[in-house]
């Protein structure tokens, strides 16, 4: 049996969307409809571009470490 990794959100908490807030994205896959709300910190000093680059660098670093 392969190692089962915990979900990426394990142990994380997220603010619940207000009922009057519409989702940022709605995606239907098969019979399941996913409603996605986005949350951005207003005090963050990192731009979205910086965040994406940082996440990609970390993913590549992890992939290289596995080889």
pLDDT, tens digit, 9 for 90 and up, residues 6-17 = 555 566 666 666
The pLDDT value given to residue 4: 54
- Contacts of residues 3-12 at CB distance under 8 Å and 24 or more positions apart, as own/partner, are none
Q: Is 51 helix (H, G, I), strand (E, B) or coil?
A: helix
The structure tokens listed for 28 are: 């239907």
Q: What b/e readout covers 8-44, taking b as 16+ CB neighbours within 10 angstroms? A: eeeeeeeeeeeeeeeeeeeeeeeeeeeeeeeeeeeee
5 vs 17 pLDDT, higher one: 17
| Average pLDDT of the chain, as a whole number | 80
The structure tokens listed for 37 are: 């709300």
Whether 1 has a pLDDT exceeding 60, the answer reads no
Range 36-61 average pLDDT = 88
Would the pTM count as exceeding 0.75? no
């Amino acid at each position: 049996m392969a190692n089962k990794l915990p979900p990426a959100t394990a142990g994380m908490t997220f603010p619940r969307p207000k009922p009057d807030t519409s989702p940022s994205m709605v995606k239907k896959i098969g019979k399941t409809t996913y409603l996605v709300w986005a949350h951005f910190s207003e005090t963050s000093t990192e731009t979205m571009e910086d965040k994406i680059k940082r996440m990609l660098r970390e993913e590549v670093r992890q992939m290289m470490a596995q080889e």
